[in-house]
Structure 1
Amino acid sequence: MSDLLWFFAISTCLKLLLIPSYHSTDFEVHRNWLALTHSLPLSQWYLDETSPWTLDYPPLFAYFEHFLSIFAFLIDPQIVDLQKGLNYTSNSVIFFQRITVILSDSCLLYGVYRLTKDLDSGKRILIWVLVVWSPMLVIVDHLHFQYNGFLLGILLISLSFLEQGKDLAGGFFFAVLLCFKHLFAVAAPVYFVYLFKHYCWCGLVKGFRRLSVLGAVVVAVFAVAYGPFVYHGQIQQVLRRMFPFGRGLCHAYWAPNFWVFYIVLDKGLAFFLRKLGFAIQTPEASFTGGLVGDSSPFAILPQITPLATFAMVLLALSPCLIKAWRNPQPGMITRWVTYAYTCGFLFGWHVHEKASLHFVIPLAFVAVQSLENARHYFWLSIVSCYSLFPLLFEAQEYPIKVLLLLLHSIITWLAFSAQFTKGEEAKAAARIKKKDEQLKLKGNSSRADKKEGFVIGGVEKSYLVGLLVVEIWSQFLHPLIFGDKLPFVPLMLISIYCGLGIMYSWIWQLRWIIRSPNL
């Protein structure tokens, strides 16, 4: 544990240095949530429209903001002033909110500790490097500004209990997580199938008793979170804020998922049909404008509804759910949850690019299990981190995000090489010995000096080279050639290219799950 604290201390020093740097509108979103939860009675939290940044997270997160607002008021009362505090950017609010994110990362620290405490020291330290020093968390939480580390910590705590066979505690913490942020519900089908089969499927009487206890625990968590709003007759308003389906299928061109290709195909068809003389109208909500669109942005292809995306996510999840039902192994739950969040990212409704954290962070715990998994994680973490680059669009942050990605790539490569080279060399030596024996029988020379190391495949290498080409074009060549014209093209190009990479990762994970034996 002391070593983990050192890792956390080093990352904290970096985060403290980044306090004065750029922050997005999410910074004002959370400041406004501090103000409204402090200034208004609970019955008004989900009704207030003083600011355009209305409260749209589940109640436990609202309670969390209310807790933080107590300390914010003591430091600077204007932080929580609902009227005068709009767009307040004094040093007091900047330091306060930045430090609350850093302190809330202690939840992530505990989750990492719980999930790694039974591993050998090599794997444990490797996971600490991958998670505690994650450049994605630094970019999203400590530059752009959010509390993903805190929320992912709750997820890791839940997974740690499930891997230990403590299903009731694992289900409890997942229910808590859903009441903090409902977007984690993508993994709910995996949790349901796994807990029902692993915890409740044990005879009629005992199984019914366990199902009742598990149901009571989940209901109790939701009752604590939502009960006050049910009492005030506001549950419909709360749900309306949490599920604003009118925001449209995609978050502009940002999330590199399946729907990016659907949008590009629709625009391509519309362009060629106009050239052929067809009267094709351009939808009012343009994805190339970088704005949140409405629910009907397509000119040619069928409109996509939230129900359709829900069905696609479930369909993509089905192989994983079948595996979880046939043989609910505790050691597989983290991989299944990772796959679930990959499916949700690719096929979900109005997915933000930041949601890639939901599968990259848990995947770090899978990466240490084998060399094949390590290679996949190394490649995917680079792709996912690069897909977040458009979040930091100001020039002064460009060296920071590039340096973070480069350091991550180098450190991860060295860490994986140190972890797997020794084991792989032992396996290679056994293969070489066998090969030598065969060669001696044929009178050929020995190849015993051949060794294997941590390398990635040709396809992955070529893709990473393409990633560099995309960045050179987007950052340097496009502005040089086109100036201020077609400003959406670099963003679209990044989304499409990273979308290809994450689709490739999803296929890789799906193939692994289908081929994995039911032990």
Structure 2
Amino acid sequence: MAKNGPISQINPSEERRYSLKNIWICSLALKLLLMVGYHSTDFDVHRNWLAITNKLPLSQWYTENTSQWTLDYPPFFAYFEWVLSQFVPTIVKNDGCLDIVSKGQYGLPTIYFQRITVIVSEIVLFLALQWIIDTSSSYSMKRRMYVATASLALSPGLLIIDHIHFQYNGMMYGILFLCLNSARLEKYLWCGFWFSVLLCFKHIYLYLAPAVFVFLLRSYCLNLSWNKRKNIFINLLNLIQWRNSIKLGVVVIGVFAIAFLPFYNTLPELFGRLFPFSRGLTHAYWAPNMWAIYSFVDRVLIQVYKKIPVSRFFLLKIFKFDSSLLQNDELLKTSTRGIVGDIEFFILPQITAKLTFLLTLFYQIMALIPLFLQPTYRRFIGAMTLCGYASFLFGWHVHEKAILLVNFPMTLIVCRDVKLLPAYNLLVACGYASLFPLIFTCNEWLVKVIYTFLWYIIFYFNFKKVTRIPKNKTSGVIVDRIVNGYILSFILVLTITTLIDLLKNKYHVLKKFEFLNLMIYSTYSAIGVISSWNGMCWLYFVDDSIWNDST
């Protein structure tokens, strides 16, 4: 993929060869083949949103509740669904695509139409990635960015989540990359504009908002230089670049006004949909974060308590839990449904929403302090990555799909220094592996496994080929081998979980452990993601050379 040869022998005309067009065509062929494959309930979610925005006046979009799949994305996404609904052909309408019903009844015409809308919307991603390549400052940087952007364009995460499971994340991340490249080019107003647009499409990106806020505040709105010739009052007044701040404020407020003002009569219902605090800490399938490990330990302690009588005294003394709950097998099976009132943990102390918020806030603030002191583009991407890590690892009711919030920004800087590669490899390997349980049908099993494996092998070697190796780089062979060994151990995880799936209908005892595979996936992936976070934190706080734009 990456081109060999001395940089001095490359003339400017050859740089134009770094185009994602062929990659887009190849990926398009695969996505078209997957159109009639498995899709999750998210497919009916978006079908219902098409119907709501098409059939009802705007004032009812956030109050309609015929289906359980109520509209719960910000207004720009609702407008987007309305635009798509205007292009629904008659044959698709007759198929039930635009029916407001409790449960959608549809066939291939609707499936084809909605699949095509995902593919078309992903053009935003390819245009944004191509812009990153085209605006890179040198041939060597274009080469690196080509590998990085190609890995994003072909991401197994997008293939699994968008083109099999069914969502529109490709377009969302395209807007994010428009924001990030605007920041790199010091187009700060555009950076603020694109991120505001993104938040009005999907509010999960609030996890990344602290990094964007601090970066724009420090780079565009503040002037921390101190003129000794002027009095203190004038210096304090000049700390704020008023013209820049006003322009940025007008842009951001303008975007949100366009999004939300049409819903001024139903704003309470709208915000109630966007922030449903009635959900529990985890899903039935734990996202691979700190709470997956916490939940795993709780489940292990339950078995220790039930199987080893001598342990009961010590466990009761240490954790002071209600032992009568452990006698209810049905309750044990439903301990992580994520519904208010359910018991989340039986032996370990309960985790509150306030605690998850404080932990997330603490680790995000720690990442933002260096960004405030050194507001470079690379430091900005590093801080955004760590904000994504903190939200994913410590957040409340985290979706496993949110791992892309960490993976995608980090990809833009991984070529900056070879020391970033172990943390990145561990992140993408375990992050994408954690998405496998989303697709559980036999036909798509082979696609997700083979595609992800080939993607990892191809880009593992290409990243190694183009990543900058600093002169003072110390040996990291041991770390690389540990990381690679852990990633290879996923073959064992995949083998065990596949055998359990194949044999569970033959052996009745396996039916008692219906969530065992999910626990194995989430625990394995959580260890990898947490380890990756530790490595990234060390580099972010200790190795300043990685984050200096001038080197």
**Is this a same-fold pair by TM over 0.5?**
yes
Q: Which amino acid aligns with 2:432?
A: C
Alignment correspondent of 2:263:
229
Contact 1:37 1:69 in 2 (8 A): yes
**Displacement of 1:33 after TM fit?**
0.5
**Residue-by-residue CA offset, 1:62-104 (whole Å, 9 max, x unaligned):** 1111110111255522444334694233111111111111111
Q: Which amino acid aligns with 1:505?
A: S
The reply to whether residue 59 of structure 1 matches residue 93 of structure 2 is: no
Alignment correspondent of 2:49:
33
Alignment correspondent of 2:8:
none
SS in 2 for 1:71: coil
Contact 2:66 2:101 in 1 (8 A): no
Picking from 75, 86, 109, the partner of 1:92 is 109
Change (3 A) 1:92 1:289: farther
Alignment correspondent of 1:195:
216
Contact 2:302 2:347 in 1 (8 A): yes
Distance in 2, Cα, partners of 1:307 & 1:375: 33
Alignment correspondent of 2:426:
379
**Alignment of structure 1 residues 243-282 onto 2, 5 Å:** 243-273=275-305, 275=309, 276=312, 279-281=323-325
The reply to whether residue 505 of structure 1 matches residue 505 of structure 2 is: no
**Alignment of structure 1 residues 460-499 onto 2, 5 Å:** 460-477=483-500, 480=503, 482-499=509-526
Change (3 A) 1:36 1:475: same
Picking from 335, 340, 352, the partner of 1:294 is 340
**Alignment of structure 1 residues 15-164 onto 2, 5 Å:** 15-78=31-94, 79-83=96-100, 86-119=103-136, 120=139, 121-164=142-185
Alignment correspondent of 1:438:
none
Change (3 A) 1:75 1:226: farther
Contact 2:175 2:195 in 1 (8 A): yes
Contact 1:36 1:80 in 2 (8 A): no
Distance in 1, Cα, partners of 2:115 & 2:445: 20
**Displacement of 1:303 after TM fit?**
3.0
Distance in 1, Cα, partners of 2:274 & 2:108: 31
Contact 1:319 1:514 in 2 (8 A): no
Alignment correspondent of 1:347:
394
The reply to whether residue 315 of structure 1 matches residue 354 of structure 2 is: no
**Displacement of 1:229 after TM fit?**
1.2
Change (3 A) 1:192 1:112: same
Change (3 A) 1:373 1:295: farther
Distance in 2, Cα, partners of 1:286 & 1:207: 58
**Displacement of 1:483 after TM fit?**
3.5
Contact 1:285 1:294 in 2 (8 A): no
Contact 1:249 1:295 in 2 (8 A): no
**Displacement of 1:266 after TM fit?**
3.2
Q: Which amino acid aligns with 1:196?
A: L
Give the CA RMSD over aligned residues. Answer: 2.7
**Displacement of 1:505 after TM fit?**
0.8
Change (3 A) 1:116 1:339: farther
Distance in 1, Cα, partners of 2:501 & 2:30: 32
**Alignment of structure 1 residues 294-443 onto 2, 5 Å:** 294=340, 296=342, 297-420=344-467
Q: Which amino acid aligns with 1:165?
A: E
Q: Which amino acid aligns with 2:194?
A: F
Change (3 A) 1:64 1:453: same
Contact 1:260 1:499 in 2 (8 A): yes
Alignment correspondent of 1:434:
none
Alignment correspondent of 2:9:
none
**Residue-by-residue CA offset, 1:287-336 (whole Å, 9 max, x unaligned):** 76774433652334343333321211111112211011111112322222
**Displacement of 1:211 after TM fit?**
1.9
Q: Which amino acid aligns with 2:132?
A: L
Distance in 1, Cα, partners of 2:33 & 2:197: 32
Alignment correspondent of 1:446:
none
The alignment covers a number of residue pairs equal to 493
**Displacement of 1:141 after TM fit?**
0.4
Distance in 1, Cα, partners of 2:37 & 2:126: 24
SS in 1 for 2:36: coil
Stretch deviating more after TM superposition (105-114 or 58-67): 105-114
Instruction: Give the structure-2-normalised TM-score.
Output: 0.83
Q: Which amino acid aligns with 1:279?
A: S
The reply to whether residue 168 of structure 1 matches residue 189 of structure 2 is: yes
Q: Which amino acid aligns with 2:406?
A: F
**Residue-by-residue CA offset, 1:451-493 (whole Å, 9 max, x unaligned):** x999971221221232221111111157536432311011101
Instruction: Give the structure-1-normalised TM-score.
Output: 0.88
Contact 1:253 1:288 in 2 (8 A): no
Change (3 A) 1:479 1:348: same
Contact 2:207 2:387 in 1 (8 A): yes
Contact 2:378 2:413 in 1 (8 A): no
The reply to whether residue 10 of structure 1 matches residue 31 of structure 2 is: no
Picking from 161, 177, 202, the partner of 2:198 is 177
Flag structure 1 segments of 5+ consecutive residues without an equivalent: 432-451
SS in 1 for 2:512: coil
